[in-house]
């Protein structure tokens, strides 16, 4: 019997990678639903190739354009119609919509699937306590798709082993400015900050990598997923991006997880769970293993890493403040409203504002609460800098 799956964000890099995997194994999968925001032409092409009968297009203008085509498939404008699409629990949902926009669809889909792969960072950072409760309630299995967290998850199969963890090292490429002298940071351009040396990524995540804010968020994700204190989670610079995590156990042993810079590897394993072999598997790269080149990050170059020192250990709405502040500042940077060298100082000054700090003591209880706070933060910051 074919596995029934849905791909949220099928026109993005994660979604396209999953479809590429399915292309080589069409006989074992049936795609029930594909979703996109504006890229309806790509979405319609995917639907045609894989005979998908349900589409969600969240951008209203794009939705209206497709609706006028009067195609013989179901087309929806939001995720409130999932109960019409999923009559029974499907086998797998890939949640790959980027940003806060992916939060509500991720939550809504949990009760309709046996297993969910989450690539949406914001869901895990801002709403993990809410999602975990929903996962348990519906007996839905969760798999993290981000390369570092999937690596850790694959090496920690149960709670007993997690309890034996002494510390975990999450690796970072260092982005485009790892070797750049601080004296030249004032000359960094948008083009410089959006050119990653190892990974093909969108502009937003490329900027996050250049400031290393992406690693701050990955540490928060790991804290939530594996229920570990931040003090047990460390960042190491590893320019080759071959080693993704090191797990040191209390018994003196350590595990290192390596794989090539190919997101299809964690995506493939999230859907197959080691029951198949990856078709493009490469030999262990001894040259890279002999040159791991691990270093502690330079906090003068990447001061945003120090934000981890003020993250509450318990779930709070302050994480939403961090995400929203970063999203807004990246948007302003990409519009030339602020420069790169001032980014960390502006960030730190904003998250220390009294009206934002109060959220350290507030626990998220509803998805709408997070979405409203995100909009509030964005409006406040834009009123200052635009």
Beta-carbon count within 10 A of 33 CB:
27
141 shares a domain with 187: no
268 is a domain residue? no
- Angle of CA points 43, 199, 32, to nearest 5°: 25
Q: How confident is the model at residue 282 (pLDDT cuts 50, 70, 90)?
A: confident
**Chain mean pLDDT for the chain:** 93
Residue 264, classified by CB atoms within 10 Å of its CB into exposed (0-12), middle (13-18) or buried (19+), is middle
197 is a domain residue? yes
Q: How confident is the model at residue 205 (pLDDT cuts 50, 70, 90)?
A: confident
CATH assignment of the domain containing 362? 1.10.1740.10
pLDDT above 70 (res 198): no
The stretch 60-67 carries a mean pLDDT of: 96
22 shares a domain with 53: yes
330 shares a domain with 300: no
Report the range of poorest mean pLDDT among 29-43, 86-100, 213-227, 282-296: 282-296
Q: Tell me how many domains the chain contains.
A: 3
CB 313 within 8 A of CB 230: yes
Q: In whole angstroms, what is the distance from residue 104 CA to residue 95 CA? A: 10
Q: In whole angstroms, what is the distance from residue 117 CA to residue 158 CA? A: 18
Helical pair 318-334 and 213-226, crossing angle rounded to 10 deg: 160
Give residue-wise pLDDT tens across range 32-59: 999 999 999 999 999 999 999 999 999 9
Identify the pLDDT of residue 158. 78
Report the range of poorest mean pLDDT among 280-284, 325-329, 354-358: 280-284
101 shares a domain with 152: no
Q: How confident is the model at residue 279 (pLDDT cuts 50, 70, 90)?
A: low
The stretch 309-319 carries a mean pLDDT of: 94
Domain hosting 319: range is 312-386
pLDDT above 90 (res 297): yes
276 is a domain residue? no
Residues paired with residue 233 on neighbouring β-strands, in sequence order: 168
24 shares a domain with 115: yes
Identify the pLDDT of residue 159. 75
What's the sign of the alpha-carbon dihedral 360, 361, 363, 366?
negative
49 phi/psi in degrees, rounded to 5: -65, -40
Identify the pLDDT of residue 202. 76
Which of 111, 145, 179 is a domain's end point? Answer: 145
Which of 97, 226, 243, 120 lies closest to 170, judged by CA? 243
Q: How confident is the model at residue 386 (pLDDT cuts 50, 70, 90)?
A: confident
Give residue-wise pLDDT tens across range 129-165: 999 999 999 999 999 999 899 999 999 877 778 889 9
Residue 159, classified by CB atoms within 10 Å of its CB into exposed (0-12), middle (13-18) or buried (19+), is exposed
Identify the pLDDT of residue 225. 96
272 is a domain residue? no
Q: What is the DSSP letter of 274?
A: T
Beta-carbon count within 10 A of 206 CB:
20
Give residue-wise pLDDT tens across range 162-194: 889 999 999 999 989 999 999 999 999 999 999
The stretch 213-232 carries a mean pLDDT of: 96
Half-sphere exposure of 286 (CA within 13 A, CB side): 0
pLDDT above 80 (res 60): yes
Q: What is the pTM of this model?
A: 0.94
Identify the pLDDT of residue 190. 95
CATH assignment of the domain containing 76? 3.40.50.720
Which of 127, 145, 163 is a domain's end point? Answer: 145
Place of tokens 């002999």: 290
Give residue-wise pLDDT tens across range 249-264: 999 999 999 998 888 9
Helix (H, G, I), strand (E, B) or coil at 94: strand
CB 359 within 8 A of CB 318: yes
More confident: 370 or 206: 370
Percentage of residues of the chain with pLDDT beyond 70: 97
271 is a domain residue? no
CB 176 within 8 A of CB 196: yes
Which of 274, 306, 338 is a domain's end point? Answer: 306
Percentage of residues of the chain with pLDDT beyond 90: 82
383 is a domain residue? yes
The stretch 275-285 carries a mean pLDDT of: 73
300 shares a domain with 159: yes
């Amino acid at each position: 019997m074919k596995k029934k799956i849905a791909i949220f964000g099928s026109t993005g890099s994660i979604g396209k990678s999953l479809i590429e995997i399915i292309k080589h194994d069409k006989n074992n999968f049936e795609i029930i639903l594909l979703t996109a925001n504006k890229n309806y032409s790509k979405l319609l092409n995917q639907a045609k190739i894989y005979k998908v009968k349900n589409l969600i297009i969240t951008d209203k203008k794009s939705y209206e354009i497709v609706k006028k085509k009067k195609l013989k498939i179901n087309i929806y404008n939001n995720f409130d119609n999932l109960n019409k699409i999923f009559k029974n629990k499907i086998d797998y949902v890939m949640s790959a919509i980027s940003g806060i926009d992916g939060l509500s669809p991720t939550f809504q889909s949990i009760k309709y699937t046996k297993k969910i792969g989450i690539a949406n960072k914001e869901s895990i950072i801002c709403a993990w306590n809410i999602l975990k409760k929903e996962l348990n309630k519906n007996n839905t299995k969760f798999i993290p798709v981000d390369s570092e967290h999937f690596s850790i998850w694959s090496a920690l199969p149960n709670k007993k082993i997690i309890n034996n963890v002494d510390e975990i090292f999450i690796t970072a490429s260092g982005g485009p400015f790892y070797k750049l002298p601080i004296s030249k940071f004032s000359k960094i351009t948008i083009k410089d900050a959006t050119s990653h040396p190892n990974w093909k990524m969108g502009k937003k995540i490329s900027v996050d990598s250049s400031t290393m804010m992406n690693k701050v968020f990955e540490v928060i994700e790991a804290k939530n997923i594996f229920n570990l204190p931040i003090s047990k989670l460390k960042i190491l610079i590893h320019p080759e991006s071959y080693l993704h995590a090191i797990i040191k156990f209390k018994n003196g042993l350590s595990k290192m997880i390596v794989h090539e810079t190919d997101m299809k590897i964690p995506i493939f394993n999230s859907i197959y769970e080691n029951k198949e072999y990856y078709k493009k598997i490469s030999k262990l790269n001894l040259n890279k293993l002999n040159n791991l080149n691990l270093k502690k990050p330079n906090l003068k170059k990447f001061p945003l890493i120090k934000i981890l020192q003020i993250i509450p250990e318990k779930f709070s709405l302050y994480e939403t403040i961090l995400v929203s502040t970063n999203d807004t500042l990246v948007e302003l940077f990409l519009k030339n409203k602020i420069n790169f060298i001032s980014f960390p100082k502006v960030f730190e000054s904003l998250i220390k504002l009294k009206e934002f700090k109060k959220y350290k003591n507030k626990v998220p209880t509803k998805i709408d609460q997070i979405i409203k706070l995100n909009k509030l933060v964005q409006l406040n910051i834009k009123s200052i800098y635009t």
